[in-house]
């Protein structure tokens, strides 16, 4: 995927690596950040932690990770539990995902 609005002048790709349980954001081929997840006993995706490397902070990488993860989970018909403080704060500004969020 590409999102030039988030990081002008950079090619951003977000991919999911289910073997290690995370979405990865790469900027021009370099790992810029990750969103770690797991699947709970109810089959919901638990978003645990977002981390963006210091060199890439302030470029919308965390937002891109959150949006991509939530869009993919929605497309799969899944439900989400949010433990990550970054994603929780991001969701307060993006209420369009309320329909797939399970609150504990």
pLDDT (average), residues 76-94: 97
Is the residue at 67 inside a domain? yes
Is the residue at 81 inside a domain? yes
* pLDDT of 63 strictly over 70: yes
| Domain with 60 in it | 12-96
* pLDDT of 80 strictly over 80: yes
80 CB-near residues (< 8 Å, 6+ apart): 44, 45, 46, 47, 70, 73, 97, 100, 101, 102
Nearest partner of 36 among 25, 57, 50, judged by Cα: 50
Give residue 103's pLDDT. 84
Is the residue at 22 inside a domain? yes
Cα–Cα dist 92/18, whole Å: 27
Report the CATH number at residue 78: 3.40.630.30
pLDDT tens-digit series, residues 8-53: 677 899 999 989 999 999 999 999 999 999 999 999 999 999 999 9
Mean pLDDT of all residues belonging to the chain? 92
Is the residue at 69 inside a domain? yes
Query: The tokens of 89 are what?
Result: 């704060």
Domain tally for the chain?
1
Is the residue at 102 inside a domain? no
Give residue 8's pLDDT. 60
């Amino acid at each position: 995927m590409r999102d030039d609005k988030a990081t002008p002048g950079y090619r951003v790709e977000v991919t999911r690596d289910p073997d290690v349980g995370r979405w990865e954001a790469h900027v021009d081929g370099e790992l810029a950040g990750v969103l770690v997840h797991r699947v709970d006993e109810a089959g919901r995706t638990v978003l645990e932690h977002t981390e963006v490397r210091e060199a890439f902070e302030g470029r919308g990488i965390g937002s891109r990770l959150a949006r991509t993860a939530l869009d993919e989970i929605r497309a799969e018909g899944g439900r989400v539990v949010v433990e990550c403080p970054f994603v929780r704060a991001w969701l307060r500004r993006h209420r369009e995902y309320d329909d797939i969020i399970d609150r504990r």
